[in-house]
Structure 1
Amino acid sequence: MLKIGLIGVGHLGKIHLKCIRLAREVYELVGIYDTDQELAGRVAEEFGVKSFANLEELIDAAEVVDVVTPTSTHFAVVKAALEGGCHVFVEKPLTETLDEAEQLIELSKQTGKLVQVGHVERFNPALLALGDVKVQPYFIEAHRLAMFNPRGTDVSVILDLMIHDLDIVLKLANDEVAEVRASGVAVLSNTPDIVNARLEFRNGAVANLTASRVSLKNMRKVRLFQRDAYISLDLLEKESQVVRLFDADATDLPDRGQQFPLETPRGPRIIHVDQPASGPVNAIQMELESLAYSIRDEQPAAVSIEDGYRALALAQRIAEAVADNQSRLPDPLA
Structure 2
Amino acid sequence: MADNIKIGVIGAGKIGTFHTRTLAKMEGMELVGVCDPDALRAQKLAWEYNCTPYTKYEDLVPLVDAVVVAAPTPLHHEVGMYCLRQGVHTMMEKPIASNMEQAKELIALAKERKVVLQVGHVERFNPAVVEAMKYIKNPKFITINRLGPYDPRMAAVGVVLDLMIHDIDLLLTMIDSKIINIEATGLSVFSSQEDIANVRFTFENGCIADVTASRASFERARYMHLFQEDAYISVDFMNAAVKMYKKEKPVITDLKDITVFYPQVNKQMPITSELLHFKDCILSAGTPAPSGERASMALEIAMQIEEKINRYDLPKAATTGPAMAPKPLKDIVDVARAAKIIVDETLGSIRGKGE
TM-score of the pair, normalised by structure 1: 0.90
C-alpha deviation, 1:174, in angstroms? 2.4
Take 2:33 and 2:281, find their aligned partners in 1: how far apart are those partners? 22
Q: Count matched residues.
A: 318
Take 1:78 and 1:113, find their aligned partners in 2: how far apart are those partners? 12
Q: 1:165 aligns with which of 164, 167, 172?
A: 167
Q: Give the direction of change, closer, same or farther, for the CA distance of 1:324–1:15 in structure 2 (3 Å limit).
A: same
Corresponding residue for 1:18? Answer: 21
Matched residue type, 1:318: I
* 3-state SS of paired residue (1:217): coil
Matched residue type, 1:270: D
Take 2:75 and 2:92, find their aligned partners in 1: how far apart are those partners? 11
Corresponding residue for 1:7? Answer: 10
Q: 1:310 aligns with which of 297, 300, 303?
A: 297
Take 2:10 and 2:189, find their aligned partners in 1: how far apart are those partners? 32
* 3-state SS of paired residue (1:32): strand
Aligned pairs for 1:147-166 (under 5 A) are 147-166=149-168
C-alpha deviation, 1:45, in angstroms? 2.8
1:284 aligns with 2:274: no
* 3-state SS of paired residue (2:134): coil
Aligned pairs for 1:1-334 (under 5 A) are 1-23=4-26, 25-52=27-54, 54-130=56-132, 132-247=134-249, 262-263=252-253, 270-326=257-313, 327=326, 328-329=328-329, 330-331=332-333, 333-334=336-337
Take 1:222 and 1:181, find their aligned partners in 2: how far apart are those partners? 19
C-alpha deviation, 1:231, in angstroms? 1.1
Take 2:269 and 2:79, find their aligned partners in 1: how far apart are those partners? 26
Cα deviation digits, residues 146-202 of structure 1 (max 9, x gap)? 122322122111111111111111111122211111011111111111111111112
C-alpha deviation, 1:129, in angstroms? 1.7
Contact 1:67-1:90 at 8 Å conserved across structures: yes
* 3-state SS of paired residue (2:192): coil
* 3-state SS of paired residue (2:267): coil
Contact 1:32-1:40 at 8 Å conserved across structures: yes
Cα deviation digits, residues 241-298 of structure 1 (max 9, x gap)? 12221227xxxxxxxxxxxx9318xxx9821221111132121121011111112222
Contact 1:182-1:325 at 8 Å conserved across structures: no
Contact 2:136-2:174 at 8 Å conserved across structures: no
List 4+ stretches of structure 1 deviating above 4 A.
none
Contact 2:127-2:269 at 8 Å conserved across structures: no
TM-score of the pair, normalised by structure 2: 0.85
Greater RCO, CA 8 A, separation 6+? 1
Take 1:72 and 1:283, find their aligned partners in 2: how far apart are those partners? 25
State the superposition RMSD in angstroms: 1.9
Take 1:30 and 1:301, find their aligned partners in 2: how far apart are those partners? 23
Cα deviation digits, residues 89-143 of structure 1 (max 9, x gap)? 1111111111100111111111111111111111112112225324211111111
Percent of aligned positions with the same letter in both sequences? 34
Contact 2:116-2:285 at 8 Å conserved across structures: no
Take 1:44 and 1:263, find their aligned partners in 2: how far apart are those partners? 63
Cα deviation digits, residues 206-226 of structure 1 (max 9, x gap)? 111111111122110111111
Matched residue type, 1:271: I
Structure 2 segments unaligned to the other structure (5+ residues)? 314-325, 338-355
Take 1:174 and 1:305, find their aligned partners in 2: how far apart are those partners? 19
Corresponding residue for 1:256? Answer: none
* 3-state SS of paired residue (1:116): strand
Contact 1:2-1:64 at 8 Å conserved across structures: yes
Corresponding residue for 1:252? Answer: none
* 3-state SS of paired residue (2:173): helix
Matched residue type, 2:174: L
Structure 1 segments unaligned to the other structure (5+ residues)? 249-260
Take 1:64 and 1:234, find their aligned partners in 2: how far apart are those partners? 32
